[in-house]
Amino acid sequence: MNTNIGLLLLRVGFSGMMLIHGIPKLLQLFQGDFGFPDPLGIGSTFSLILTVIGEAICPILLIIGFKTKWMAIPPAITMLVAAFIIHGSDPIGKKELALLYAFAFIVMALLGGGKFVLKK
């Protein structure tokens, strides 16, 4: 039981905090402002869309517990890109937040959402 509550808190806590970063990007996308970094060379618009998926769409689905193992992968990748590409040359202090999120989402991808999920 404690494990399931822990997984619920991990899922809701980190996903809820990720929305603080993702919602402004989602609004930026809806407003048609496609000015966004292109760290992978795939275009600013596509980079913004992928980031919105990783920072807004998947965290919402994680909060409700929909396909937790799968929905945790895009945010983990997004945060690894932020840590090692966007902040690649920065000191560890600048990468710390992205790495913290990445580790949390990797744990979710490995362990799943526990008992309190909408759909495994």
The C-alpha atoms of residue 44 and residue 103 are separated, in whole angstroms, by 26
Beta bridge partners of 66: 119
Amino acid at 81: V
Give per-residue pLDDT as tens, 97-120: 999 999 999 999 999 999 999 887
Beta bridge partners of 119: 66
- Buried b vs exposed e over 61-75: b needs ≥16 C-beta within 10 Å? bbbebbbbeebbbbb
- Whether the pLDDT of residue 1 is over 90: the answer is no
Q: What is the pLDDT of residue 119?
A: 80
pTM: 0.93
pLDDT of residue 28: 96
How does pLDDT run across 66-86, given as a tens digit for each residue?
999 999 999 999 999 999 999
Assess whether pLDDT exceeds 80 at residue 91.
yes
Note the pLDDT of residue 120: 75
Task: List pLDDT tens digits, range 18-70.
Answer: 999 999 999 999 999 999 999 999 999 999 999 999 999 999 999 999 999 99
- How does DSSP assign 41-78, residue by residue? SS-HHHHHHHHHIIIIIHHHHHHHTBSHHHHTHHHHHH
Buried b (16+ CB within 10 A) or exposed e, 83-107: beebbeeeeeeebeebbebbebbbb
pLDDT at 25 (0 to 100): 97
